[in-house]
Each structure stands twice: as C-alpha cells, then as structure tokens.
Amino acid sequence: MEINENLQIERNLKGTEFEKTGDLENAIELYEANVEENFKGNHPYDRLATIYKNQNDIDNEIRVLEKAIVIYEIITIEDRIEGMPKLFRFKNRLEKALQTKTLLLKQKKSKLK
C-alpha cells in the first residue's frame, strides 16, 4: 500500500482543528487513519493517547501507545535523531497507562467482594 505523506499531514492538521472545536469523534477518525498507516511522527499517537486517556478509555490508550513504540523503534533504527527521546517518552506513558489499568482492575475486584 502506497502511503501519501501529504494526506497524512493534512489529516493531522484537520484533526487538530476538529479538537479545537470539540469534535473529538472526527479528530479520532483522522488520527486513527494515520495510526493504521503507520505514520512516522508522534502527532497522531500523542493526540489519540491523550484523547483516550481523557475519555477514560485505557485500552485504546494502551493500544495507541504500543503502536507508537513500534513505530519509534523503527525510527530509532533508521537513526532519526528525534527517535530515541520520543521512544522513551512513549514507553513511560505506556508504563503509566498499564499501572492505571492494573489499579482500576484491583479497584473493580475489591468492589465485587
């Protein structure tokens, strides 16, 4: 599948506009398209992880962060200078999200007792 980087950039810009107007559904749709196409930049991963975190959608937050890590491992191998710091940042965010999920599961179990 051929990737149109200009289209991906346009999606990111339009997604940002949608966010500013509160239209998160359309923003998510555009960012998810870029994630699906393995966009090699942090914008859609950062924005989706943040949106999903704010919506308390921990599973989607984790999914997006895991995908970002895969992409930034590739970027780092390609020796792009911004790769390593962003890779560490995504790994830290994922660790926090996983800790939150574990905490929520524990709280849910204790309520069931």
pLDDT of 58 higher than 70: yes
pLDDT digits (tens, 9 = 90+) for 8-35: 999 999 999 999 999 999 999 999 999 9
Residues 97, 105: Cα–Cα separation, whole Å:
12
Which CATH number applies to 5-112: 1.25.40.10, 3.40.250.10, 3.40.50.720, 3.40.50.300? Answer: 1.25.40.10
CB 53 within 8 A of CB 75: no
**Residue 5 and residue 101: Cα distance in Å, rounded?**
34
Give the per-residue pLDDT at 1: 57
- Return the structure tokens found at 12: 């990111």
pLDDT digits (tens, 9 = 90+) for 67-77: 999 999 988 88
What percent of the residues of the chain are helix, what percent strand, and what percent coil, each to the nearest 5?
A: 80, 0, 20
Q: Per-residue pLDDT averaged across 37-59, rounded?
A: 96
Residue 3 has pLDDT above 80, yes or no: no
